[in-house]
């Protein structure tokens, strides 16, 4: 799902992600790997990120929140599996300090499932962390390369389950979206109208309209063969996007990858927070167009239109 004017030229999901799309499984092969080299003496981008994961394990075992927080960019963010959001190194450091104060240093294992490189300075990592022998969670991490060093710009964690597969949700969990909606940007008080309708038994369709009531974009939400909720968005100008939806109760993270009409490639993490049967909020963060990072969008309030 996207909102015209909310991201200018960039259409979630998401992480981190982390997602989010930071697409795993069958979709991952569509992303271009640019990190490899035939020179055995050169440390590849992929190996640098894998080394950082090892450094994270060591710092976590030592209870060193300062070293861990330094792995993020100065304005990086972390969303833990409960939905709590930390913005900036200071908040991330305090978050880990509180964890170590309460639980103490612990052994953690980072299992990287995939690393993809949309560009030379942007990487999307997905994997699983295991805390001791019992607890585990999934994550999606967006990395930026600055001054030759890889740092995390955004990390989204998702709760584990009894089955070692990526959590996604059921399309029925989005059935409440069916209806007519009005989205209002708080920073400009502009409004946009869109409709959500069931499309057969396996899909939802979202139609976004321009100020002249012309169809501006069409989004189809369904399940892929891996059991993940995926969205496909098509814009009137020829651009399109793919998003992966991940459910956390009343909150959804959408990891999205867009292909603009002019040829540029973008990524973003979208956050949808359900506030009731007739209201939800929507915002985007960790937005990138090619190798340029964009500011997070202002929150958009979306209200069900009862008059139609």
- pLDDT tens track for 22-81: 333 333 333 333 344 444 445 799 999 999 999 999 999 999 999 999 999 998 888 887
For the residues 163-190, what does the mean pLDDT come to?
Answer: 74
Mean pLDDT over 102-125 rounds to 87
Residue 186 scores a pLDDT above 80? no
More confident call, 7 vs 209: 209
Confirm whether 25-159 and 171-304 share one CATH topology. Answer: no
CA distance 99 to 105: 9
What mean pLDDT, rounded, does the chain reach?
78
Indicate the helix (H) or strand (E) that contains 100: helix 88-103
Domain layout of the chain by residue ranges: 25-159, 171-304
Mean pLDDT (whole number) for 270-296? 85
63 DSSP assignment = T
Kindly state the average pLDDT of the residues 182-204.
82
Asked if the model's pLDDT at residue 218 lies above 70, the reply is yes
Task: Judge: domain 25-159, CATH 3.10.450.50.
Answer: yes
What residues contact residue 176 under an 8 Å CB cut-off, 6+ apart? 274, 277
Fold observed for domain 171-304: Lipocalin (2.40.128)
Inform me whether the pLDDT recorded for 307 exceeds 60.
yes
Distance separating alpha carbons of residues 233 and 236, to the nearest angstrom: 10
Distance from C-alpha of 27 to C-alpha of 21, rounded to nearest angstrom: 9
Dist CA 152 CA 21 (whole Å) = 17
pTM assigned to the model: 0.56
How confident is the model at residue 142, as a pLDDT?
A: 85
**pLDDT reported for residue 151:** 95
């Amino acid at each position: 799902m996207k909102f015209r004017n909310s991201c200018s030229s960039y259409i979630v999901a998401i992480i981190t992600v982390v997602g989010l799309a930071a697409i795993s499984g069958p979709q991952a092969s569509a992303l271009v790997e640019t990190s490899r080299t035939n020179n055995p003496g050169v440390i590849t981008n992929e190996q640098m990120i894998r080394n950082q994961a090892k450094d994270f394990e060591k710092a976590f075992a030592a209870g060193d929140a300062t070293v861990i927080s330094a792995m993020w960019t100065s304005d990086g963010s972390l969303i833990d599996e409960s939905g709590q959001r930390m913005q900036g190194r200071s908040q991330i450091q305090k978050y880990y300090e509180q964890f170590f104060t309460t639980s103490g240093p612990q052994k953690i294992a980072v299992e990287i499932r995939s690393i993809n490189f949309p560009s030379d300075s942007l990487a999307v990592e997905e994997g699983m962390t295991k805390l001791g022998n019992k607890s585990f969670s999934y994550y999606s991490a967006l990395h930026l390369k600055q001054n030759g060093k890889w740092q995390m710009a955004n990390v989204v964690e998702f709760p584990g389950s009894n089955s070692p597969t990526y959590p996604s949700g059921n399309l029925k969990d989005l059935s409440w979206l069916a209806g007519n909606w009005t989205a209002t940007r708080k920073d400009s008080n502009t409004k946009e109208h869109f409709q959500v309708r069931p499309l057969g038994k396996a899909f939802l369709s979202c139609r976004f309209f321009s100020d002249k009531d012309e169809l501006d974009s069409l989004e189809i939400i369904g399940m892929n063969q891996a059991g993940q909720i995926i969205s496909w968005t098509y814009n009137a100008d020829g651009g399109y996007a793919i998003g992966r939806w991940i459910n956390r109760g009343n909150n959804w993270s959408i990891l999205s990858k867009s292909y603009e009409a002019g040829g540029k490639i973008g990524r973003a993490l979208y956050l949808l927070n359900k506030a009731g049967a007739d209201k939800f909020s929507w915002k985007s963060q960790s937005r990138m167009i090619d190798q340029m990072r964009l500011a997070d969008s202002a929150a958009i309030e979306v209200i069900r239109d009862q008059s139609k």
